[in-house]
């Protein structure tokens, strides 16, 4: 565990969320990485009390914001976790996709009453993707779940008064 995320990953700081509802929106594209992100995300959610997990698969990262909005409208989960992996290629396509998914998720966080967690890897190569899906840079699927749990807990505290 590195110093920059030590407090974030401290097991004592991760709440148990009884009867929690979470939606995971993830991509088909780069499934060899994204599937591991989803597994880690689900594992942490279940370990911390979330029993209602809806999943929606979208083709690629560009479609994630649409999927998040659709899953919210249908299920009203307490949190939505967006998981994907965009790997830089030889054209500017990477930049356009990354910008669109980032802006889309940001916009949803303004208009939806449930947080949308950004768990989309934006990497230069496959090695960097593996490093962030359980390698030396942690597990970004697990970290996305932790972020969702913390925000769900905070929201519940606010709703209590």
Residues flagged as binding site for (2S)-2-hydroxy-3-oxobutyl phosphate: 90-91, 132
Q: Active-site residue among 4, 26, 48, 93?
A: 93
* Tally of CB atoms within 10 A around 161: 4
Strands 50-58 and 116-123: unpaired
What tokens does 136 get? 């030396």
Task: Summarize the annotated binding site as residue ranges.
Answer: 29, 61-63, 85-87, 90-91, 118, 132
Q: Using CA atoms in the order 30, 108, 73, 17, what is the torsion angle rounded to 10 degrees?
A: 80
Whether 26 sits among the annotated catalytic residues: the reply is no
Task: Summarize the annotated binding site for 5-amino-6-(D-ribitylamino)uracil as residue ranges.
Answer: 29, 61-63, 85-87, 118
Q: How far is CA 131 from CA 36, 77, 78, 99, 102, in A?
A: 12, 30, 29, 22, 21
- Give the catalytic positions in this structure: 93
């Amino acid at each position: 565990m590195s110093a920059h995320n030590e407090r974030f990953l401290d097991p004592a700081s991760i709440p148990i969320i009884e009867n929690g509802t979470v939606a995971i929106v993830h991509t088909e594209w780069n499934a060899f990485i994204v599937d591991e992100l989803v597994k880690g995300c689900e594992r942490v959610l279940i370990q911390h009390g979330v029993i209602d997990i809806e999943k929606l698969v979208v083709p690629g990262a560009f479609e994630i914001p649409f999927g998040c909005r659709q899953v919210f409208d249908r299920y009203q989960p307490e949190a939505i976790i967006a998981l994907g992996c965009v790997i830089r290629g030889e054209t500017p396509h990477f930049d356009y996709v990354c910008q669109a998914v980032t802006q889309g998720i940001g916009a949803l966080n303004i208009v939806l009453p449930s947080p949308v967690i950004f768990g989309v890897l934006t990497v230069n190569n496959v090695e960097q993707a593996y490093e962030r899906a359980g390698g030396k840079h942690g597990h970004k699927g697990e970290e996305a779940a932790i972020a969702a749990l913390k925000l769900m807990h905070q929201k519940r505290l606010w709703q209590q008064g």
